[in-house]
Copies of this chain bind each other. A is one copy, B any other.
């Protein structure tokens, strides 16, 4: 029914507990869906995939769970223009590349010191808590579904 390996499950439970939240079947399922195919699905797509295996889950719950996971810092929410948000499980700092040809989003690994490097661009007095870097263009056409 669910499909989370032990360490992922442990991470989830810990992150939820840290925020004083409960571990539920639905939250596990949503997290499992995101880990299984890292193709930056929208809430609707997550809903469809979760339903295959948990047919009674509701769309509202999918939104709730995704928001919870984002708040716990286990998942990132991506936005391009005002298109539907996409979600990716969080493996630390990375940029995103949107392929205009097929609409896919690829993760781009960032150098360790990226945030401090780029923060030097800021004038005196600006304190950045977060930096977001997104590319748009054409990706090589021989990549598989998952990100790099």
Query: Bound state CA distance, A140 and B127, in angstroms?
Result: 8
| A133→B131 contact, CB < 8 A | yes
User: Nearest residue in B to A141 (C-beta to C-beta)?
Assistant: B125
- Secondary structure at the A interface, as helix, strand, loop or mixed, is mixed
Q: Is A121 an interface residue (CB 8 A)?
A: yes
A137 B132 Cβ-Cβ under 8 A: no
Task: Give every chain B residue within 8 A of A119 (Cβ-Cβ).
Answer: 135
CB distance from A115 to the nearest CB of B (A): 10
**Of B82, B110, B124, B129, which is within 8 A of A136 by CB?**
B129
**A81, B82: Cα distance in complex, Å:** 8
A130–B136 contact, CB under 8 A? yes
Q: Are the CB atoms of B121 and A140 closer together than 8 Å?
A: no
Is there an interface contact between B110 and A139, defined as CB atoms closer than 8 Å?
no
Give CA–CA (A134, B95) in the complex, Å: 11
> Interface readout for A72-97 with B: 1 if CB under 8 Å, 0 if not?
00000101111001000000000101
Q: Is the CB of B100 within 8 A of A110?
A: no
A60, CB-defined interface residue at 8 Å:
no
Interface string of A41-85 (1 = CB under 8 A from B): 000000000000000000000000000000000000101111001
By Cβ-Cβ distance, the 10 closest A-B pairs, closest first, are A125-B140, A129-B137, A128-B137, A128-B135, A130-B136, A132-B134, A127-B138, A127-B137, A126-B139, A133-B133
